[in-house]
């Protein structure tokens, strides 16, 4: 039997602790903002997924500025009554255990009056906006932080996740007690589950793409209510629009169904329906 890497299940005893960088100070981000020290201060915030406020709260924690970073340290709700929080934490663990980590972090904000000031022709940053404190106080109220696929910030991401030492089960330990055939079946099942994403149904992929596009639209509207979109954000939206147009043209060709094709599909369905009724 071919050796394989042990599969470890750490469902029990997890603490759900996370530390993440949500913003980098003194650099221009993708929204043309330069965040100055003191903009965040110290704030208690909630965790949601990709700014989806229907989650209400999957966990909570504190944002504090450390050197040139705004760092979030928090705790997920690891109760069995909140599987969505456990699932999100599991995805962060997976991302960290399979480098390079790809998940970024972002935050929803309300900028106080005077907390965002436009600048032009700066020697280092050119044109953009300063995000800074107001009268010695934080210039922003942060509503929540979110793991996202792509955030507006620069060099954001998970710093670490922490799980309490608890029950760890290695499937290879169980395989030692099985016969050869049973062991092969177990390994085949593991291989199938490991490649589940690769064999994902196309309809599921389409549904996920649609949900992501809707979230992008909502996020864009939220940003534009508070400030203009940055140049890079506008360029990315233009690329998305162009790709959607190209996709629409290709799909229009692919989804043309002739009368003969339609008749064939109807006959197949009728045959299957007849067999099921026997």
| SS3 of 86-132 | HHHHHHHHHHHHCCCCCCEEEEEEEECCCCEEEEEEECCCEEEEEEC
pLDDT above 70 (res 268): no
Write down the number of H helices and E strands in the chain.
6, 12
Q: What is the dihedral of CA 245, 246, 249, 255, to 10 degrees?
A: -110
Percent of the chain with pLDDT over 90: 31
pLDDT in tens, 184-202: 555 555 455 444 444 455 6
Residues 108-121 have pLDDT tens digits of: 889 999 999 999 99
Mean pLDDT, the chain, rounded, equals: 74
The predicted model scores a pTM of 0.54
Place of tokens 């959607």: 244
182 pLDDT exceeds 70? no
Judge whether residue 75 has pLDDT over 50.
yes
The confidence score (pLDDT) of residue 5 equals 32
Residue 73 has pLDDT above 90, yes or no: yes
Kindly state the average pLDDT of the residues 7-17: 50
Query: What backbone torsions phi and psi does residue 46 show, to the nearest 5 degrees?
Result: -100, 165
148 and 51 Cβ atoms separated by less than 8 Å: yes
Lowest-confidence region among 136-150, 168-182, 252-266: 168-182
Q: Is the pLDDT of residue 166 over 50?
A: no
């Amino acid at each position: 039997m071919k050796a394989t890497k042990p599969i470890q299940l750490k469902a029990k005893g997890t603490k759900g602790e996370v530390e993440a960088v949500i913003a980098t100070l003194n650099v221009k981000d993708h929204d043309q903002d330069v965040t100055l020290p003191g903009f965040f201060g110290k704030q208690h915030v909630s965790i949601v997924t990709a700014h989806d406020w229907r989650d209400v709260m999957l966990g909570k924690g504190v944002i504090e500025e450390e050197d040139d970073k705004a760092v979030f340290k928090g705790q997920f709700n690891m109760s069995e009554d909140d599987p969505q929080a456990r699932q999100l934490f599991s995805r962060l663990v997976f991302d960290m255990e399979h480098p390079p980590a790809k998940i970024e972090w972002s935050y929803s904000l309300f900028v106080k009056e005077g907390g965002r000031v436009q600048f032009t022709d700066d020697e280092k940053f050119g044109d953009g906006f300063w995000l800074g404190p107001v009268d010695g106080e934080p210039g922003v109220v942060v509503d929540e932080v979110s793991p996202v696929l792509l955030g507006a910030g620069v060099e954001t991401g998970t710093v670490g996740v922490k799980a309490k030492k608890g029950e760890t089960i290695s499937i290879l330990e169980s395989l030692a007690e099985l016969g050869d055939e049973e062991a092969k079946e177990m390994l085949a099942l593991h291989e199938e589950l490991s490649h589940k994403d690769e064999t994902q149904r196309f309809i599921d992929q389409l549904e996920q793409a649609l949900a992501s596009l809707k979230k992008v639209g909502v996020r864009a509207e939220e940003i534009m209510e508070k400030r203009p979109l940055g140049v890079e954000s506008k360029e990315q939206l233009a690329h998305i629009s162009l790709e959607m147009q190209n996709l629409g043209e290709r799909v229009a060709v692919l989804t043309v169904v002739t009368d003969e094709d339609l008749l064939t599909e109807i006959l197949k369905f009728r045959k299957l329906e007849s067999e099921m009724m026997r």
